[in-house]
Amino acid sequence: MKKRVRVGVAIVAVTMLLAMALTATAALIVGVSAVQGSGDATQQFQLQPGWNAIFVEVQPEPRELDTLLASTPEIEAVFASVTRVTTAEFIEDLGEPKLKDPDWRWYFPSSRPESFMNTLTTLLANRPYLVKVGGAAAVTWTIQGRPVPRTVTWTPDAFTLTGLPIDPAVPVTFADYFEASITHAGQPVYGLSSATGAWESVAAATTAIQSGAAYWVYTKGSSAFTAPIEVKLAGGDETLDFGTQANELTFAIHNRSDAARTVAVAPATADVPLTVPEYDQTQQTLLWKSFPGVVAQLDLDVPAGDFVTVRLRVQRADLGSGVDGAQTLLSITDGEGVRFRVPVSVSRALSPDQARLGQGMFGRFSRVLAQAAGTSPTHPGLWVGTATINAVSEAFSSTDNTTPKPTAQDFSFRLVVHVDKDNNVRLVREVTQLWKEAVTDAGGTVTEPGRLALITDPSLLTQSGYSGARLIDGEVVGQRISTMTIDFPDQAGEPPATLPLSGDFGAAGDVLTVTVSIPADHPTNPFFHLFHPDHDNQNASYSGYKAEAYAISRALTLTFGNLDPAKCAPLDSPPANCNPPGWGERIVGGTYRESVTGLHRRTIYTSGTFRLQRMGTEDELNG
């Protein structure tokens, strides 16, 4: 391993830790627990007498209908569709929902005699509802809660009752909205008429989609379309939550339309001290600028059918005095009728309890000083990416069977690598990200704070003390990451599902090597078949071992380069300034070579590229 001595850095780090300790101690004395800003938004419905079809975009708290409707006595009933899909005949003959219909749930205020039959009690985000208003006057109903950006789930060859992520300030017709979706363009749409109280077919070319309204939309075949532009958060998350540890988060914007679009990204307030990267051509370096502030709004050109990744960093040091956390809303619009709103939140890195911890504060001094004297981990954490094979040797050739030759098509497979705090690099077969719960003593004092944990040992997955790390569809779950193309038996003295690599990680010129051995009786050995008599490694009477499969050995070599193989192709004549922001820090890559022995009577040689992105900075496994 390389020895990267950073004495000066260590001194600065010690000074910073002391300052952090003093800050945290002061917070402990004062007892601060304030959060500035808000990630909530207001949604307002203009309800007409009779039935109204609405789509709730925010999650109100409290969510009980008794509370939400307490100040709006004009609302006589709220109905929710259970299936959210139906046939054209049902739409045309809908009338009022029937109390005996199994596809509907209903709510009546306690003042009405029907309330004893209520089967609906709460209001949920991203759900359509039918709301009945009594009397002859229109009513304004306002709810407040956290926006929940989710994709629309369509049922193939059926109508789906749904709303759409519409910018109320920019009208857009159904025809323009669904132009990029072959499963929706030209298909029927029904809206609830305030004049007649009946579902009526809308004129797609001239009818503007109303924000907060629900429609029956027909899908011809299967569809993953939600909007002409879509926001993709990591792991299916519904918020950008920096928590107490993350310093940088990313999300993607997908342009599904057939024309380039300019997408505006802007925080509602400056309560969360965000920064965004900007490349300075003069200084030839990446600068992080306050957002909003120096950069009021991001205007991103997203090519047709392409993605753009947005990077956000948080500056916890800029949180206001006496503030433990902050929240805001990120508005994402395309100027052509689409709007998404994403909650953003951050907490201070150290709570008052953590300030008392040897591990959380002064216990870190030993690590800092050890790094100054020895090996300093420059790329700790979990790295996930792909290897792409674009050349394979011709094993059958009698003239040259060792030189990889270009293939007609590339072949890619996943790579998972972990770098620990001591710069030990391991190939990972499978890992699950969980949350390790905080540990407290008998008096309730936190002795070990909660944190993210990377688990490769399956026996730990069911142990108490661990819980999910991500919120997906309202459920807290762990995130499992695995590769199906690199398998190997567990190694003695190594964490389960890992294989140590030799060499150094990350810097241009660094080389990592490893030999992956697949025994003749390994379940994923392609020659071994447990239930085939000619390939089960058993003799004819099944009474003893007989070699019928071949052991396979894969020698992998990863050589790190100074150009991003995904953005700088062709690597022999790359375009100028092709490396993306974060190259060398959170994105690395280079050339990939592999030789396979045992699959053929001659060794097979392959070559290509690899690219890895840092998914987290947890520097230990199974901790």
**510-557, pLDDT tens digit by residue?**
999 999 998 888 788 787 777 777 666 677 667 777 677 788 899 999
| Local structure of residue 37 (DSSP, 8 states) | E
The confidence score (pLDDT) of residue 356 equals 37
List CB contacts of 398: < 8 A, sequence separation 6 or more. none
Quote the tokens at residue 75: 């609302």
pLDDT digits (tens, 9 = 90+) for 98-143: 556 677 788 999 888 888 888 888 898 889 999 999 989 999 999 9
Cis peptide before 574 (omega within 30 of 0): no
For residues 608-618, one letter each, b for 16 or more C-beta atoms within 10 angstroms of the residue's C-beta and e for the rest, the string is: bbbbbebbbbb
CB atoms within 10 A of CB 287: 12
In Å, what is the CA distance from 525 to each residue of 489, 520, 548? 11, 6, 12
Residues 365, 333: contact at Cβ < 8 Å?
no
pLDDT(351) > 80: no
pLDDT at position 401 over 80 = yes
User: 74-88, pLDDT tens digit by residue?
Assistant: 999 999 877 655 544
pLDDT category at 473 given cuts 50, 70, 90 is low
Beta carbons within 10 angstroms of residue 580's beta carbon: 17
Predicted local confidence at residue 472, as pLDDT: 61
Helix (H, G, I), strand (E, B) or coil at 285: strand
The answer to whether residue 562 scores a pLDDT higher than 80 is yes
Q: What is the pLDDT of residue 98?
A: 58
Sign of CA dihedral 193, 194, 196, 197: positive
Confidence at 440, pLDDT banded by 50, 70, 90:
confident
Closest CA to 163 of 205, 216, 237: 216
Which residue did the predictor score with more confidence, 51 or 363?
51
- Lowest model confidence (mean pLDDT) among 43-57, 147-161, 502-516: 147-161
Alpha-carbon Rg for the chain, nearest whole angstrom, is 29
DSSP 8-state class, residue 236: G
Lowest average pLDDT, out of 239-253, 371-385, 436-450, 582-596, goes to 371-385
Q: What length is written for the chain? A: 623
Model pLDDT, residue 407 = 94
- The token duo for 490 is 């567990």
Quickly state the pLDDT bin for 439 (edges 50, 70, 90): confident
Percent of the chain with pLDDT over 90: 42
**Euclidean distance between the first and final Cα of the chain, in Å?**
23
Contacts of 254 (CB under 8 A, 6+ apart): 229, 230, 231, 232, 302, 306, 307
Q: How confident is the model at residue 181 (pLDDT cuts 50, 70, 90)?
A: very high
At residue 205 the predicted structure's pLDDT band, cuts being 50, 70 and 90, is: very high
Sign of CA dihedral 488, 493, 497, 502: negative
Range with the largest mean pLDDT of 186-200, 228-242, 275-289:
186-200
For 440, other C-beta atoms within 10 Å of its C-beta total 12
pLDDT at 212 (0 to 100) = 94
pLDDT band at 235 (very low <50, low <70, confident <90, very high): low
263, pLDDT greater than 90: yes
Q: What integer is the mean pLDDT of 591-616? A: 92
Express each pLDDT in 87-110 by its tens digit. Answer: 444 444 444 555 566 777 889 998
Phi and psi for 9 in degrees, rounded to 5? -65, -40
Full-model pTM: 0.55
Q: Is the peptide bond before 62 cis (omega within 30 degrees of 0)?
A: yes
As to burial, measured by CB atoms within 10 angstroms (0-12 exposed, 13-18 middle, 19+ buried), residue 468 is middle
Both tokens assigned to 505: 């990680």
pLDDT above 80 for 496: yes
Higher-scoring residue by pLDDT: 219, 435: 219
Mean per-residue pLDDT, 37-56? 91
Asked if residues 615 and 382 have their Cβ atoms less than 8 Å apart, the reply is yes
Closest by CA to 142, choosing from 238, 25, 41, is 41
The reported pLDDT for the residue numbered 167 is: 94
* Mean pLDDT score of the chain: 82
Question: What is the pLDDT, as a whole number, of residue 43?
Answer: 93
Average pLDDT rounded to a whole number, residues 287-292: 88
The pLDDT value recorded for residue 120 is: 87
At residue 469, φ and ψ (nearest 5 deg) are -115, -10
Six token digits for residue 58: 């925010």
Give the DSSP letter of residue 173: B
The three-state secondary structure class of 113 is helix
pLDDT score recorded for residue 443: 77
Q: Which residues of 354-384 are buried (b: 16+ CB within 10 A; e: fewer)?
A: bbbbeebbeebeeebeebbeebbbbbbbbbb
Whether residue 22 is predicted with pLDDT greater than 50 in this model: the reply is no
Mean pLDDT of 17-27: 40
Cα-flanking dihedrals φ and ψ of residue 334, to 5°?
A: -110, 5
SS3 439: strand
Which pLDDT value is given to residue 6?
A: 40
